[in-house]
Structure 1
Amino acid sequence: MTEALFDPRTVAVVGASGDPAKWGYWLARGALSGASRRPVHLVNARGADVLGHPTHHSLRDLRETPDLVAIATPPHTYEQVVGDALDAGARALVAITAGVVYPGGLPALAERVRSAGARLVGPTSMGVYDSASALALTWGTLTPGPIGVVSQSGSVGLELGYLAAKEGLGLSRFVSVGAAADLGVRELAEAVVAAPHTRVVILYLEDLSIGRDLIALAGGKPVILLTVGGSAAGRRAVTSHTGALATPDAVVDALCRAAGVLRARTPQEAIHIAQACLAVPAPVRRVAVVADSGGQGAIAAELAERLGLEVPAFSPATAEALRALLPPEAGLSNPVDLAGAGEADLATYPKIAELVAPEVDAVVLTGYFASYAADSPALEGAELTAAAHLAETLTTRPCLIHTMRPEGPTVDFLRAAGVPVHGTIDAVMTGLSALTFSREVWTPPAASSTPLGDISGFVALRRTLLASGISFPDGTLYDGGDPGLTYPVVLKALGPAHKTEVGGVVLGVGTPEELHREARRMRDRLGGLPLWVEEQVVSPGVELIVGAHRDPHAGPVVTFGAGGVLAELIADTVTALAPLTHERAKDLIATTRVSRVLNGWRGAPPADVDAVAHAMVVLGGILDARPELTEIEINPLKDGLALDAYAS
């Protein structure tokens, strides 16, 4: 499939046109641009010449097999054209045509194509492109480069190509998935990732039906996911707090973390992250900022820290070395204020960058460097020499540049040398900040050997969780008599997921008489629901939520965070793919704000974090092993005790 689609022996364009307003024109133009590599056949029903080339009336008129057929004809012709292409022996079809109504629907179309030994991209695709094989079956003109793009929106994919060209980059391969009657995201993305000339991949997905396949896809090269979080994981009704907290956006982030995939929010941000990936081979945490002015340095440093980067102070030895090279009024810590030294001698820029590089993971130059030649041609030689020095010497620590005028010979030289140059400091720091974590691909732990018991109802669920090592307060079903518990106790109705909202919980019941009175009132409110009574946990411990939820695309996910009735309001949570290891669960806990309270806040005793992590492992394992379950949660979990639990 890959060869026929991205490097075909022959290409035919059905619907070729000489009108630049039509798809047939751009397909014909693009196909002919690769005519030195392969034969190109243009098909036009009227037989008119297109772009100075003769055409065929039909694919049936061709005297050789078209390896790849691109289709841009009206919907009513589609069935006939597909049949002609398959009869002619085509191995790949790219269907631009929209509004196709195929007998039996798209599944029948896919089956027809596959049964003939061919594969189909589309319909409603915006084409394919491969810079190495001179294949350009898309609208407009794309620039060759190292970025592979797979997009469920053709327009977004083309926008990525145009934005890449503006930044001195381009595309290796591009494919617009379209309606995906046959070939889907997984297969097309694998082909784009595998291309030798692809160094980084951007996926634009409008749904995450690829699910956990994303993990296997992102094994070798950097992958950037651009998606719409609100619709990416589907819509569903939720009854538990966990379902409300494990939002589609949180699930997308969890899937990206598990796959080692970088997430972008806009096409421009995706390109900036791609530039950083191309320039920076390892995770970045510490950056050095070298600026023409104190203001630019301060803005860059503050932005870096807001985005999660570190701007560490330099060692005394480095500060002394800087003092020897810069004016007395220069800033010698981090950021470095050159105080006019760069303008006085352009060689200062690479010298300072080289000097501070060993103490950080990346160097950022911000100011006027790379703009001198554009404004003052007399400075072109000196600036290009400084740029060459920068590119040659900073081989172990990458350098990224913000210049006030991102154009001209120095910018072109630096970009060609692999040094990213941006017109805003926002672009530089956004790209770098995406690389602050190590891209370690998630692997599921071995299945738990703990037997899974009955969870049909609270009592059975409680029994199973107790057997799995999760503790509960002493409690029993309320039968109208003395429960034999230590007062105060909690009375609650069994059944509603959100008990507090319906008056299904009464705290601080201090005597048997009060218990009986509150039980009567609760039954009057809620009917004949069974009631549960348990000893009340009286302590200043923080209420937590631990839950697992089955996402329609990503599968089981575990959510942890601040719990109780304010869980959704506080929304201090983290979500990750399940199942989890104990250590992974503890790492996730540490990413939340509430973890600081668990570790002992202002002299308070630390909580049992291992007990919390164990609960996360158990719930994730249960949901992973029980496909009939949608969600399971403990809320709240307090002082290592599960105060309520729910499963459905």
Structure 2
Amino acid sequence: MNGLFDPRSVAVVGASDDPAKWGYWLAKGALRGAARREVYLVNGRADRVQGRRSHRRLADLPESPELVAIVTPPASFAAVVEDALAADARYLVGITAGVDRAYPGGHAVLAARVRAAGARLLGPTCMGVYDGAAGLALTWGSLTPGPIGVVSQSGSVGLEIGYLATRAGLGLSRFVSVGAQADLTTADLLDPVITAPHTRVVIVYLEDLSLGRSLITLADQARALGKRIILLAVGGSAAGGRAVDSHTGALATPDTAVDALCDAAGVIRVHTPAQAVHAARICLTGALPARPRLAVVADSGGQGALAAEFAERAGIEVPALTPGTVETLARLLPEDAGLSNPIDLAGAGEADLRIYPRVAQVVATEVDVVLLTGYFGAYAADSPALRDAEEAAARELLGVPCLVHAMRTDGPAADVLRDGGVPVFDRVDDPIGALAAYCRADDGIRPEQIHSPPGGEPADLRSILAAEGVVFPDGGFAATPEEAAALAAGLGGTVVLKAVGPAHKTEVGGVVLGLTSAQAVQAGAAEMAGRLDLDGFWVERQAASGIELIVGARRDRHLGVLVTVGSGGVLAELVADTATALGPLDHAGALRLLGRTKAARLLDGWRGAPPCDLDSVARAVVAVGRVLAARPDLTELEVNPLLARPGETLALDLLATLGGR
């Protein structure tokens, strides 16, 4: 797809002299690369545009343009496409909006027509394409060359990322706005952005998850090249408004699905364009371990305490320093300095600017990253006479794995740091938040590949799950209160009566515990039948108390099976102690997912209680995911509660949701 980012020749149809129009910016950007390629401007009414000769039609060009950018009204878009294909263009960039309504047959017919001619279409309704190394700038405004690749489902968000990168002293390698994706998709466009030699990190903005699990393959491809992917995605709001039948559907939100995808792919998840650029700056510092240890070096105790506390809350280790390092620091710093971690310079930096790099170099031997927070970087900005000294100190920091938070980021020392690859931030929470996002993107849980999934008839889910290792209490189905009584008599002892039909039985009074006679079961069943719309009854032997869990799986139309486990029972949504991953999972993955919940501490034996059988819980997690994966007629499958006890784990209730419900 090199012709999209570095074409031999470009034609801009709709080129303009009016800076308020897209045609102006496309023509201006195309002309920036005129020394590298032939640029043709096309305007049906003007002979010259931006001081250059303009052609009335594509047919008038002296050669076939490899790329044609189209920014004409929707009504003329179809004719321009035909002209471009007749001119043997290989790539079309459609800026024009409203094409789906104006083009006969809409986007699908448009894409088919373009592909049939051996060409490819970006957009329409996109904000163009940019390549910093190739001098291609077919987009609005002015972007700066740099190491960050951007693929965005919103052109405006992508351009904002570009401008933020410029302010951070960086820039973009490649930028592509995918637009309506009539032909080229996000997945298609990610590959050439990832593999571009001048791309070192990639930011992706998604408004839907149609990319699906292909993100895992793309992220693996990036990491094999020493690059990381950062994902900014919409998710987690109630805007979808989808009604759910199960607890699993309520707990596994769209935002949870995005997190599960990022976890499996090893992709860094962020929530704002600024966070995306901050995370890119962390990635560009070089390889860091999955769980980097941080040293905080501050001008004051307050700044150090704030930074260290924020880091630990974000899950970043701020380790105490060894006695040998503390002794070395004591020889460099005043008596009242803080010598552990965080390190309080107690004014030593103001007296001698060389103290900053010297202390950073000392503590860097014990940690993976040093955060320098305070006034360094701002001295020369406020006192120009200190420029030489501060710049010299900044140059000594360039070899240290360092992040700098400065009160001012507009001074010459900050420029030295940025030019040398040391990120400079104007808020202390930004580098820590970015580092935390980086840490979360490692050691994820990946779904297993199923070669022979469990099968069975739709009505036999219990048997299928039982064959996979899920244990249910003895019991059975009864169509009438009389059959329920007979079942209870056969089971003996204390039984539970459940209504079959309602999704949330407890909420509607569809569960009766502690029934010790057939007569009590029959009476309870008759009472239920009188007030509930039922499909029948389930009678089973009552289990002893234990830890109630929820194990569920639901099918996402883009991501496939999502598996959720955590604290269950009637308070599942209220407690909201669950973890979700792409499924199905193998046994090791199920144990890891369970370990991400607070319930895992209860299962291990909380405050002297005997531990539960974690392996049997994991078997249930594996089984639920595998069965849903094998049953395309189902959208959700849930065991709630799954009762965990020392020596046994029992599935006390099962809910399956058919597709379309």
Q: Does structure 1 residue 454 correspond to structure 2 residue 457?
A: yes
Q: Which amino acid aligns with 1:35?
A: A
The equivalent residue for 1:94 is: 93
Question: How far apart are 1:502 and its partner, in Å?
Answer: 2.2
Partners of 1:546 and 1:560 within 8 A in 2: yes
Identify the match of residue 401 of structure 1 among 404, 408, 418: 404
The equivalent residue for 1:271 is: 277
Equivalent-residue separation in structure 2 for 1:450 and 1:82 (angstroms): 47
Identify the match of residue 248 of structure 1 among 243, 250, 254: 254
> SS of 2:208's equivalent?
coil
Equivalent-residue separation in structure 1 for 2:512 and 2:451 (angstroms): 36
Q: Which amino acid aligns with 1:586?
A: L
Q: Does structure 1 residue 150 correspond to structure 2 residue 159?
A: no
Partners of 1:623 and 1:629 within 8 A in 2: yes
> SS of 1:214's equivalent?
helix
Question: How far apart are 1:235 and its partner, in Å?
Answer: 6.1
Q: Structure 1 stretch 381-390 or stretch 226-235: which is displaced more? A: 226-235
Question: How far apart are 1:448 and its partner, in Å?
Answer: 6.2
> SS of 1:55's equivalent?
strand
Question: How far apart are 1:170 and its partner, in Å?
Answer: 0.6
Equivalent-residue separation in structure 1 for 2:494 and 2:435 (angstroms): 55
Give the 5 Å matches for 1:381-396.
381-392=388-399, 394=400
> SS of 2:55's equivalent?
coil
Question: How far apart are 1:438 and its partner, in Å?
Answer: 5.6
Q: Structure 1 stretch 170-179 or stretch 627-636: which is displaced more? A: 627-636
Partners of 1:206 and 1:232 within 8 A in 2: no
The equivalent residue for 2:6 is: 7
Distance 1:108 1:477, change over 3 A: closer
Partners of 2:149 and 2:199 within 8 A in 1: yes
Partners of 1:402 and 1:422 within 8 A in 2: yes
The equivalent residue for 1:525 is: 531
The equivalent residue for 1:185 is: 186
The equivalent residue for 1:463 is: 463
Partners of 1:44 and 1:56 within 8 A in 2: yes
TM-superposition CA deviations, 1:175-217 (whole Å, max 9, x none): 0111111101000111111111111111111101111111111
Partners of 1:455 and 1:647 within 8 A in 2: no
The equivalent residue for 2:494 is: 488
Distance 1:58 1:528, change over 3 A: closer
Q: Does structure 1 residue 633 correspond to structure 2 residue 638?
A: yes
Partners of 1:350 and 1:389 within 8 A in 2: yes
Question: How far apart are 1:441 and its partner, in Å?
Answer: 7.1
Partners of 2:453 and 2:627 within 8 A in 1: no
Equivalent-residue separation in structure 2 for 1:183 and 1:122 (angstroms): 7
Partners of 2:269 and 2:441 within 8 A in 1: no
Distance 1:18 1:140, change over 3 A: same
The equivalent residue for 1:575 is: 580
Identify the match of residue 502 of structure 1 among 479, 500, 508: 508
> SS of 1:311's equivalent?
coil
Equivalent-residue separation in structure 2 for 1:309 and 1:253 (angstroms): 19
The equivalent residue for 1:543 is: 548
The equivalent residue for 1:323 is: 330
Partners of 1:523 and 1:529 within 8 A in 2: no
Q: Does structure 1 residue 418 correspond to structure 2 residue 421?
A: yes
Equivalent-residue separation in structure 1 for 2:361 and 2:301 (angstroms): 20
The alignment's C-alpha RMSD in Å is 1.6
Equivalent-residue separation in structure 2 for 1:305 and 1:462 (angstroms): 45
The equivalent residue for 2:165 is: 164
Equivalent-residue separation in structure 1 for 2:397 and 2:233 (angstroms): 36
TM-superposition CA deviations, 1:560-607 (whole Å, max 9, x none): 011111111111111101111111111111111121111111111112
Partners of 1:476 and 1:483 within 8 A in 2: no
Question: How far apart are 1:476 and its partner, in Å?
Answer: 2.5
Distance 1:477 1:598, change over 3 A: same
The equivalent residue for 2:138 is: 137
> SS of 2:48's equivalent?
coil
Partners of 1:233 and 1:552 within 8 A in 2: no
> SS of 2:606's equivalent?
coil
Q: Structure 1 stretch 520-529 or stretch 578-587: which is displaced more? A: 520-529
Q: Does structure 1 residue 558 correspond to structure 2 residue 557?
A: no
Q: Does structure 1 residue 645 correspond to structure 2 residue 654?
A: yes
> SS of 2:158's equivalent?
helix
Question: How far apart are 1:452 and its partner, in Å?
Answer: 2.5
Equivalent-residue separation in structure 2 for 1:441 and 1:306 (angstroms): 20
Q: Does structure 1 residue 262 correspond to structure 2 residue 268?
A: yes
Partners of 1:223 and 1:261 within 8 A in 2: yes
The equivalent residue for 1:77 is: 76
Distance 1:503 1:232, change over 3 A: closer
Question: How far apart are 1:98 and its partner, in Å?
Answer: 0.9
The equivalent residue for 1:39 is: 38
Equivalent-residue separation in structure 1 for 2:532 and 2:437 (angstroms): 51
Q: Which amino acid aligns with 2:433?
A: T
Equivalent-residue separation in structure 2 for 1:172 and 1:232 (angstroms): 35
> SS of 1:18's equivalent?
coil
TM-score, normalization: structure 2?
0.94
Q: Which amino acid aligns with 2:513?
A: L
Distance 1:26 1:446, change over 3 A: closer
Q: Which amino acid aligns with 1:243?
A: G
Equivalent-residue separation in structure 2 for 1:317 and 1:55 (angstroms): 73
TM-superposition CA deviations, 1:51-98 (whole Å, max 9, x none): 111100111110111111111111111111111111011100111111
> SS of 2:608's equivalent?
coil
Equivalent-residue separation in structure 2 for 1:71 and 1:636 (angstroms): 58
TM-superposition CA deviations, 1:123-181 (whole Å, max 9, x none): 11101000010000010000111101111111101000001111111100000111111
Equivalent-residue separation in structure 1 for 2:142 and 2:71 (angstroms): 18
Question: How far apart are 1:409 and its partner, in Å?
Answer: 1.4
Question: How far apart are 1:495 and its partner, in Å?
Answer: 2.2
The equivalent residue for 2:212 is: 211
Partners of 1:259 and 1:440 within 8 A in 2: no
> SS of 1:229's equivalent?
coil
Q: Structure 1 stretch 133-142 or stretch 567-576: which is displaced more? A: 567-576
Equivalent-residue separation in structure 2 for 1:455 and 1:440 (angstroms): 36
Identify the match of residue 429 of structure 1 among 419, 425, 432: 432
Q: Which runs of 4+ in 1 moved over 3 A?
A: 230-237, 437-444, 448-451
Distance 1:95 1:484, change over 3 A: same
Question: Which residues of structure 1 form unaligned runs of 5+?
Answer: none
Equivalent-residue separation in structure 2 for 1:216 and 1:595 (angstroms): 31
TM-superposition CA deviations, 1:586-629 (whole Å, max 9, x none): 11111111211111111111121111111111111111222222
Give the 5 Å matches for 1:270-309.
270-282=276-288, 283-309=290-316
Q: Which amino acid aligns with 1:534?
A: E
Distance 1:33 1:527, change over 3 A: closer
Distance 1:114 1:451, change over 3 A: closer
Question: Which residues of structure 2 form unaligned runs of 5+?
Answer: none
Q: Which amino acid aligns with 1:93?
A: L
> SS of 1:309's equivalent?
coil
Equivalent-residue separation in structure 2 for 1:472 and 1:24 (angstroms): 68
Partners of 1:125 and 1:179 within 8 A in 2: yes
Q: How many residues align?
A: 639
The equivalent residue for 2:628 is: 623
Q: Which amino acid aligns with 2:609?
A: A
The equivalent residue for 1:113 is: 114
Equivalent-residue separation in structure 1 for 2:544 and 2:630 (angstroms): 35
Q: Structure 1 stretch 425-434 or stretch 495-504: which is displaced more? A: 495-504
Equivalent-residue separation in structure 1 for 2:529 and 2:260 (angstroms): 42
The equivalent residue for 1:366 is: 373
TM-superposition CA deviations, 1:217-261 (whole Å, max 9, x none): 111221111111147996644211111111111011000101111
> SS of 1:569's equivalent?
helix
Q: Structure 1 stretch 218-227 or stretch 8-17: which is displaced more? A: 218-227
Partners of 1:476 and 1:533 within 8 A in 2: yes
Equivalent-residue separation in structure 2 for 1:432 and 1:440 (angstroms): 15
Question: How far apart are 1:484 and its partner, in Å?
Answer: 2.5
